[in-house]
C-alpha cells in the first residue's frame, strides 16, 4: 500500500504558547506526557538540540512489556519558538511505520484569545490502513498533555509561561 495519508489533529489549551511549546521541547516536561496510556518515555533517552538542523531523539516503552520500544530520531527542518517546529523523523519499533521511510511531523502553536493556544499536529505520510490508529494515538497524547499542563500549578494562571 502507498503511504499517502497525512494525519491532522488539533486541540486547544488554556495556556500561553511559550508554556505549551516548552512542554514539547524540554526533556523533563516531554517525559511527563508523551506516549499513549500504557507507555512512557525513558528519561535517559531524551536528547535534543532545539534549533534549525538540530537532532532530537526519545524512546517510548510499553509499561507492561519493557522490551516493546518505539524509537524516534528526528532532525528539525523548521524551529521557530513558540510558533512552530517541523521534524523529519525515522521511527523504529512501531509495526505501522516503515522505519526506512521518514515521516514529517509539523506542530503549530497558534495564539487563541488572551492566553490560549491551539496546537495543530500534521504528521505523515502514513499507509491508509494505519493512519486512523496514529490519529487516535495523538488524541490520547494530547489528553495527557492537557492533564500535565493542568497539573503544573505555577502555570494555572499564566505564571511565568507568558
Q: Residue ranges of the domains in the chain?
A: 5-151
* Region 104-127 average pLDDT: 97
Distance CA 20, CA 5 (A): 27
DSSP code of 52?
T
Distance CA 149, CA 42 (A): 20
User: From 3.40.50.261, 3.90.1580.10, 3.30.565.10, 3.30.530.20, which CATH number describes the 5-151 domain?
Assistant: 3.30.530.20
Confidence (pLDDT) at 1:
58
Confidence (pLDDT) at 2:
75
Angle among Cα 95, 21, 46 to the nearest 5 degrees reads 50
Q: Please give the share of the chain, as a percent, with pLDDT higher than 90.
A: 86
Retrieve residue 30's grid coordinates. 516531554
Residue 133 has phi, psi (to 5 degrees) of -65, -40
Yes or no: say if 143 and 136 are a contact pair by the CB < 8 Å rule: no
Name the residue among 125, 115, 131, 123 with its Cα closest to residue 10: 123
CA atoms within 13 A on the CB side of 2: 1
Band the pLDDT of 76: cuts 50, 70, 90: very high
Confidence (pLDDT) at 3:
80
Beta bridge partners of 111: 117
Helices 17-25 and 128-151 pack at an angle, to 10 degrees, of 120
pLDDT digits (tens, 9 = 90+) for 120-150: 999 999 999 999 999 999 999 999 999 999 9
Beta bridge partners of 124: 104
Q: Please give the share of the chain, as a percent, with pLDDT higher than 70.
A: 93
Amino acid at each position: 500500500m502507498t503511504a499517502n495519508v497525512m494525519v491532522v489533529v488539533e486541540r486547544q489549551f488554556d495556556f500561553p504558547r511559550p508554556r505549551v511549546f516548552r512542554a514539547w521541547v524540554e526533556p523533563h516536561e516531554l517525559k511527563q506526557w508523551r506516549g499513549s496510556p500504557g507507555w512512557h518515555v525513558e528519561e535517559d533517552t531524551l536528547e535534543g538540540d532545539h534549533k534549525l538542523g538540530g537532532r532530537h531523539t526519545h524512546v517510548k516503552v510499553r509499561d507492561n512489556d519493557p522490551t516493546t520500544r518505539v524509537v524516534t530520531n528526528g532532525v528539525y527542518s523548521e524551529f521557530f519558538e513558540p510558533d512552530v517546529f517541523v521534524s523529519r523523523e525515522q521511527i523504529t519499533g512501531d509495526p505501522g511505520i516503515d522505519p526506512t521511510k521518514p515521516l514529517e511531523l509539523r506542530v503549530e502553536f497558534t495564539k487563541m484569545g488572551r492566553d490560549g493556544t491551539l496546537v495543530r499536529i500534521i504528521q505523515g505520510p502514513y499507509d491508509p490502513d494505519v493512519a486512523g490508529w496514529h490519529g487516535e494515538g495523538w488524541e490520547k497524547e494530547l489528553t495527557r498533555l492537557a492533564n500535565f499542563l493542568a497539573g503544573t500549578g505555577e502555570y494555572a494562571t499564566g505564571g511565568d509561561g507568558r
